[in-house]
Amino acid sequence: MPAPRRIAKLFGKLIGLLVLLGFVGGLVLFALVRHERTTSLTLPTPTGRFAVGRTTYRWMNSADRFSRVQATGRELMVWVWYPASPARSDAPAPYVPSDWRRALASKGLIGFLTHDLSLVHCHSFLNAAVARPENPYPVVIVRAGGGAPTTDFTTLAEDLASHGYVVVGFDAPYRTYAFVLRNGKVVTRPAGQDPDSLGSAAADRIINKLLPLWIADTEFIVDQLQRLNADDPSGRFTGRLDMQRLGMFGHSFGGAQALQFCHDDPRCKAGIDIDGASYGSVVQDGLKKPFMIMLSDHRREMADPASQQIAANLQSIYDRLPNGKLFISIRGANHFSFSDQILLKSQYAIWVLQRIGFGDLPPRRGLAITADYVHTFFDVYLKHSLPASALAQLSAKYPEVQTKKP
């Protein structure tokens, strides 16, 4: 057989072998991912000294004009994590209640690559009694990004509560991507209100529309917490909330909300923006309260003019902050390194994405760094139980963290 024909035949066999290996490899990967999503997953253990309780409220915001227009009522779902003294009879809280699990379940490939939420275990006790040693407790509002549900930040909320904080998050109809009303009906966010699905100009218009709505929701939640502290019908939180020590942190668009809320509302005493761009009047006015900006690794994006503008706006806000500020970035972190999603998505898929530049920070390491910085920052500037040097000492513990000079 002439050499060219032999070579062609060999290449044909090689290609066939590669196709076969790819097919077999795909079947193996499919089986691994399927097994992975149906095994038990436990979130990182809180690092504070308190056990954690979780309870929920449904509050009606009569001033929510947007929900009125959408004819859904004005219902907010409120999630509260807090220092607890659980009794032996107290049941562990499900990661997500069953009706919300069904509503939040993703379809198609994303659903296949997402852990079965019924098999995800957190560390909270459902409706446990509030721990009494420190009374009242500082309050921190947590905001998810875009349409993400509050429960995506259970790891950070539980850790902060274990350090002696009451942590409050909320979801709203047509703002969270799926919302379960009191009557069991599920309402979803219209596609036109999802900034991630739009071009940059249209996304900015939607965000600038949504920002005041979310801020109004946050102000309403704080008003309700003040009433709850004065007279909780259940008695759980009466006199237990220190509303003079109120903070807020948020991720992505939730970080933008934290910036703007702490700008607008004098009740906010300190805040944190986790990997969020800035929007609203805070960009022009700046901020006069202790604040931390925490970013993922954006080095690959800095050639993009839009990314450069986001960085410049955050830098401008940071430069004008008074004493009590911190600006850090975490090498190898991606946008989802700060939420439970980094654990809920298939770790095989995460590994593949990390090989192509998604960020190589181990998922649990990213959550540990974030939780440590969040509770330490609030310990320093909200609870005032630690000196500012405690934040500087964290850099030795986490060499991945880069700190900008004041």
Q: Which of 14-18, 25-29, 240-244 has the highest mean pLDDT?
A: 240-244
Cβ within 8 Å of residue 31, ≥6 positions away:
none
pLDDT in tens, 3-15: 444 444 544 545 5
End-to-end CA distance of the chain: 75
**CA 276, 277, 280, 284 torsion: positive or negative?**
positive
Q: What is the pTM of this model?
A: 0.90
Nearest Cα neighbor of 150 from 124, 130, 128, 178 is 178
pLDDT in tens, 311-343: 999 999 999 999 899 999 999 999 999 999 999
Residue 153 sits at φ, ψ, to 5 deg, of -115, 30
Answer yes or no: are the C-beta atoms of 99 and 180 closer than 8 Å.
yes
Q: Which amino acid is residue 160, in one-letter code?
A: L
Cβ within 8 Å of residue 369, ≥6 positions away:
330, 333, 398, 400, 401
Does 82 score more than 90 pLDDT? Answer: yes
Mean pLDDT confidence for 102-109:
82
